[in-house]
Amino acid sequence: MKKRLDVLVCGGAACIASHSQDFKNRLIEVVKDHDLEDEINIIETGCMGPCELGPVMVVYPDGAFYIRLKPEYAQRIVEEHFLKGRPVEEFLWQAPEARKIVEEKRQIPFFEKQHKVVLENCGRIDPENLNEYIGNDGYQALARCLTEMTPDVVIDTVTSSGLRGRGGAGFPTGLKWKLARRSAGDVKYVVCNADEGDPGAFMDRAILEGDPHSVIEGMAISGFAVGASRGFVYVRAEYPLAVRRLRRALEQAREAGLLGESILESDFSFDLEIRIGAGAFVCGEETALMASVEGHRGMPSPKPPYPSEQGLWEKPTVINNVETLANLRHIILKGAEWFAAMGTAKSKGTKVFALSGNVTNTGLVEVPMGITLREIVYDVGGGIPGNKALKAVQTGGPSGGCIPAEHLDTPIDYESLAELGSIMGSGGLIVLDEDNCMVNMAKFFLEFCVEESCGQCSPCRIGLKQMLRVLERITRGEGRLEDLDDLERMAGTIKATSLCGLGQSAPNPVLSTLKYFRDEYEAHIREKRCPALVCTDLITYTILADKCTGCTACARKCPVNAISGEVKKIHVIDQGICIHCGACFEACKFDAIERR
C-alpha cells in the first residue's frame, strides 16, 4: 500500500560515518510512539551525493531536504512535519546564496526610486477581500471624516494638501468640492471618471483591479464633503476585469454597511452605481461623460455652466479621476502637510505614470512630482533596449506632445510640461527612439482625434480632417514647404475655437513635433525621405548587384511582380511598380536588398 509520506534517509558510507544510523533508529522510535507506522515509509537509500552535509534525509511528496541531522531532531520533525505538514525550517538545507539574496538584491532600480502611495496596495492585497483592505487602514479615513470632521474641514484639508486632479487638467480638487458644496440644491452627485481614454495610460485600470475599495472610499469621502448621497463610476467597456472587481467590491462594501444608509452609524448615507462606457474617447471629457451617464450620445456641452453648478440631471456634480480619488484616504489619514511635503511648488504629491514604448522596464511608476523624465526613463525604466538613442517622450496622449531628448532634465509637473508644449494628461509616457518617425506619430494622433471627434463643432470636425490630409500628403512625399506653416495656422484656429477639450488640444501633437522635429518634416518634404524608415511610401528598396545571388526568393515574394531577373542572375526592382511593402527585404537571405 502507498503510504502518506516516503522518508528517505541516506545510508551512504559518508552519512553512516556521520552517524546517520543513530538518527534513523531514533526516527523509527518516534514514528512508532506516534502510531504513524502505517502512514510513513522510512527507507534507507544509497549515497545521495552531498556527503559533506550528512546525515541527509528527503521527505516526499513535498521534497523537503534535511541536512546534518542529529537524533534529538527526530522528535520535532515527526511532530511538526510528519503530523502537521510543516517542514522544520532550521534543519533544512538552504542554498548558500539564499541568505545573500536577501542582503544583496534588496531592490532593482525600478522599485528604488518609486514612492508608492496610491499604488501601495496594488499587487499586495487581495482585491476581492474586503478584510485585507481594512487591515491596511481601509475605510479608516472615511470613519475619521464621519466621526471627527465636518464636511468643511474635509474640504479644507484637501485644499491645503494641494491635491490637483489627476485626470488631465490638474484642477485643484478642494476648490472643485467647495464650489459644488456651495451650489444650491439638496440633490448632488459625485462621479468617478474611469474612462481612461488615453491609449497608453493604464493606472486607473490597475487601481480599479488591484485596490477597488480605495476608489469607493475616496468617492464616499467626496460625497460626504460636497453633500452628495449618490455616485456613479463611469468605466470604459474595454476593462472587463476592472468592472468585475469593482462590482464585487461594491457588493462587499454594501454588505458590510460601508455603503448604504447611515454608514458607520452616522447620518451619512451614500451609494454608488457603475456605468459602463461604450467606446468613445470624448466621453472622458466631463460634460460628455455626464451626457453618457444620462444615457445619451456623449456630446460635450459648453462651459459654463460648470458641472459643480449644473451637472448630472442639472444637479451640482463633482467629477474626479480614479487616481485623484485614490489619494484621498491617504490625505485624510496622514494629513495635508504630509501630502504637501511631496512634489514641487505647485504640484503636490506623487503621480503615477504609465511607462511604455521603447524602454526596457515597462509598467506603472509612482514617483513624487518634480522628478525628471531622465530619472524615469533611465533609472526606473532601465533605458532604451538595444542601445538605441532616445528621440522623445510622448506625454499626455492625443492631447499632449512629444518632449525631445534635450529637455529630459526638466523636473516634471503640470506647469513645466505645459511650458514644453505638452501636458501631464493622465500620465501616459511613451518612449520613442530613433526608429520612430515623428511625422508618423503626429499623424497617428491626428487620425485618432479625427475618428473620435463627436462632430458637433466645425473646427474640430472639419479642421482636424484638413490637417490630417496635409500630414498624409507629407508622409506620401507629396508635401510642400508651405504646408508646415499652414499646419501651424490651422492648429491655432482649431485650438482657439473648438467647443471642448478634445478639439482644443488635438493639434498639440502636431505643434510639438513641428516645434522640436521640424527637420524631420522637412526631410519628408524636400528629400522625400523618412529618416526613421517608417513612412512606407518614402522607402526605396534596391537590389545590390554585388550581393545578389539570383536565388529568386525576392521575386517570388513580391505581391505585384515588380522584380525581374533570371535564375542565378542579378535581379532588379522596377520602381514604377514597387509598392514599398518590404516583402523582398524580409525574404532576402543575402542582405542584397537595400532599404533607404
Partner 1 sequence: MKLEDLKKIREKHQKDMILRDGDARVRVVVGMGTSGIAAGARETLRAFLEEIEKRNIADVIVTQAGERGLSSHEPIVTVLEKSKPNIVYGNVTADVARKIVAEHIVNGSPLSDYVLEVSE
Partner 2 sequence: MFHTEAHAPENRHYEQLREFIREQIDKPGPLIQVLHRAQEIFGYLPMEVQDFVAREMNIPHSEVYSVVTFYNFFRTEPIGDHIINVCLGTACHVKGAQLILDALADELDIHVGGTTEDRFFTLSTARCFGACGLAPAMMIDEEVYGKLTVDKARKAIREFRKTTEKK
Question: Contacts with ligand FMN in 418-477 (CB under 6 A)?
Answer: 426
Site for ligand FES contains 463 (CB under 6 A): no
User: Is 326:218 a contact under the CB 8 Å cutoff?
Assistant: yes
Site for ligand FES contains 425 (CB under 6 A): no
The listed partner (partner 1, ligand FMN, partner 2, none) that binds 279, CB under 5 to 8 Å by sort, is partner 2
The listed partner (partner 1, partner 2, ligand FES, none) that binds 520, CB under 5 to 8 Å by sort, is none
Residues 81-100 that bind partner 1 (CB under 8 A): 84-87, 89, 92-95, 97-98, 100
**Binding residue for partner 2 (CB under 8 A) from 168, 200, 349, 425?**
200
The listed partner (partner 1, ligand FES, ligand FMN, none) that binds 123, CB under 5 to 8 Å by sort, is partner 1
User: Is 550:590 a contact under the CB 8 Å cutoff?
Assistant: no
Residues 113-172 that bind ligand FMN (CB under 6 A): 165-169, 171
CA distance 303 to 288: 11
Cell of 240: 472587463
Site for ligand FMN contains 196 (CB under 6 A): yes
User: Is 195:236 a contact under the CB 8 Å cutoff?
Assistant: yes
Instruction: Give the β-pairing of 363-368 and 541-543.
Output: unpaired
Least separation in angstroms between residue 292's CB and partner 1 is 23
Question: Taking Cα atoms as reference points, which of 157, 175, 550 lies closest to residue 332?
Answer: 157
Site for partner 2 contains 295 (CB under 8 A): yes
Q: Cβ atoms within 10 A of the Cβ of 174, count?
A: 21
Least separation in angstroms between residue 419's CB and partner 2 is 22
Residues 186-225 that bind ligand FES (CB under 6 A): 199-200
Question: Taking Cα atoms as reference points, which of 280, 431, 412 lies closest to residue 352?
Answer: 412
**Which helix H or strand E contains 542, and what residues bound it?**
strand 541-543
Cβ proximity to ligand FMN: between 160 and 552 the closer is 160
SS3 (DSSP) at 138: coil
SS3 (DSSP) at 490: helix
Least separation in angstroms between residue 200's CB and ligand FES is 5
Q: Cβ atoms within 10 A of the Cβ of 379, count?
A: 17
Site for partner 1 contains 2 (CB under 8 A): no
E strand spans, 373-503: 390-395, 401-404, 428-433
**Binding residue for ligand FMN (CB under 6 A) from 12, 501, 507, 509?**
501
The listed partner (partner 2, partner 1, ligand FMN, none) that binds 169, CB under 5 to 8 Å by sort, is ligand FMN
Site for ligand FES contains 477 (CB under 6 A): no
- Identify the DSSP state of 378: I
Longest dimension (CA), the chain: 96
Q: Which stretch binds ligand FMN (CB under 6 A): 31-39, 113-121, 189-197, 438-446?
A: 189-197
**Is the N-terminal amide bond of 559 cis, ω within 30° of 0?**
no
Site for ligand FMN contains 321 (CB under 6 A): yes
Residues 189-218 that bind partner 1 (CB under 8 A): 202, 205-207, 209-211
b/e sequence 449-472, b meaning 16+ C-beta within 10 Å = bbebbbebbebbeebbeebbebbe
**Binding residue for partner 1 (CB under 8 A) from 196, 309, 366, 520?**
366
Least separation in angstroms between residue 8's CB and partner 1 is 14
Residues 339-398 that bind ligand FMN (CB under 6 A): none
CA distance 190 to 168: 18
Instruction: State the Cα torsion 53-59-60-61 to the nearest 10°.
Output: -110
Site for partner 1 contains 62 (CB under 8 A): yes
User: Is 359:380 a contact under the CB 8 Å cutoff?
Assistant: no
Q: Cβ atoms within 10 A of the Cβ of 479, count?
A: 22
Note the residues at the interface with partner 2 (CB under 8 A): 196, 198-202, 205-206, 237-241, 273, 275-281, 292-298, 313, 354-358, 362-364, 394, 397, 428, 430, 432, 436, 441, 444-445, 448, 454
Note the residues at the interface with ligand FMN (CB under 6 A): 165-169, 171, 193, 195-197, 282, 284-286, 319-321, 324, 426, 500-502
Note the residues at the interface with ligand FES (CB under 6 A): 199-200
